Structure 1
């Protein structure tokens, strides 16, 4: 199997796993990954993560030209913003995951650090997650907002919409966005119960020990 074919299969397999476990639904969500020659493979517009076809993924060349496959997701500005501002990004995943969306709608969220420090794993896999305001789906302003972060975040939460995460490859991006959703679920489960999260010193230990991107 060629590298291109293997990447196509991996994208579809991981997307179906996310869909089958309810992390996104219907035709929501989109996913992309860097190809070996610097291009992009992208999920087509209007498709379901549960039924992606490797043969019709949108293929872009290294210059950003769409060269084959179906038309890409309308959220391309989000994806290209991460690739253009984070040189290590090898994949980007965007979901409409229920718990993180619910958490984004509640008052009191820290826009600069959306996820509460309940476990070390959200910190290790995501660093700080920026909460961005609501944009209409497909609005290029979402990409502009990500570019405004100047590559300082690997993950953002679109209020009333869903998370977007960049990773070094497809598996890493999928693992990280699952951690984001799981941390949001924990936050909702413990909301109002005064949970004992990590202290500032414990957060700093995690950041230092695991070399996490973390600006104050």
Structure 2
């Protein structure tokens, strides 16, 4: 194992533990993966807890998609692979069962094409538009098909009644973005029914232009 891969294994486990300790996922929910320097993947094992991941037991895939080491991977492999295969520059994918985003996905009136309301600039800057996907049985390969149908246009999706999934260039950027998604969902729930003053269309357009955000 190279030093770079060893560091990546430690990073994935440290980030996962931080998410778990702060209640952003629970029990054995959630999964995380990252691209290795040689083009393979490291993936959290099925049934594992983010609070207790072992760097040595992460599922390891080679650059041809064959598992070569570690425990059996998460049953959501189709979901992860869909982002790597369709979105250029994806270096990590994280999926949580975070409570506020899941709760928001269950409420009526959500825009499937743009799940998060424009409350703060940060969700727009880190996530772009978030697509709300319908409910799928956990582990259903159709989730991967739904992500592939987006043709790489979205870095983040929300699985209704299930949880968010975010792709990023690095594990750190993916985790930062999914935390922003959950924080924005929490704000939306806190402000529901209070007619909050969110960002205007002009302010959103300014962020898109200044930060070169894809808004398809």
- Give the TM-score, by structure 2 length: 0.99
Give 1:172's aligned residue.
173
Give 1:130's aligned residue.
131
| CA distance in 2: counterparts of 1:112 and 1:201, whole angstroms | 19
| CA distance in 2: counterparts of 1:87 and 1:126, whole angstroms | 15
Give 2:112's aligned residue.
111
Partner secondary structure for residue 22 of structure 1: coil
1:40 aligns with 2:52: no
| CA distance in 1: counterparts of 2:124 and 2:164, whole angstroms | 15
Partner secondary structure for residue 6 of structure 2: helix
Give 1:147's aligned residue.
148
Residue 87 of structure 1: CA displacement? Answer: 1.5
1:1-216 correspondence runs (5 A): 2-215=3-216
Partner secondary structure for residue 144 of structure 1: helix
Residue 120 of structure 1: CA displacement? Answer: 0.3
| CA distance in 1: counterparts of 2:13 and 2:190, whole angstroms | 31
Partner secondary structure for residue 103 of structure 1: helix
Residue 211 of structure 1: CA displacement? Answer: 1.1
| CA distance in 1: counterparts of 2:168 and 2:54, whole angstroms | 22
| CA distance in 2: counterparts of 1:72 and 1:15, whole angstroms | 15
> How many pairs align?
215
Residue 66 of structure 1: CA displacement? Answer: 0.4
| CA distance in 1: counterparts of 2:105 and 2:88, whole angstroms | 28
Partner secondary structure for residue 27 of structure 1: coil
| CA distance in 2: counterparts of 1:144 and 1:197, whole angstroms | 33
Residue 72 of structure 1: CA displacement? Answer: 0.1
Partner secondary structure for residue 125 of structure 1: helix
Structure 1 residue ranges without an equivalent (≥5): none
| CA distance in 1: counterparts of 2:162 and 2:149, whole angstroms | 19
Q: Which runs of 4+ in 1 moved over 3 A?
A: none
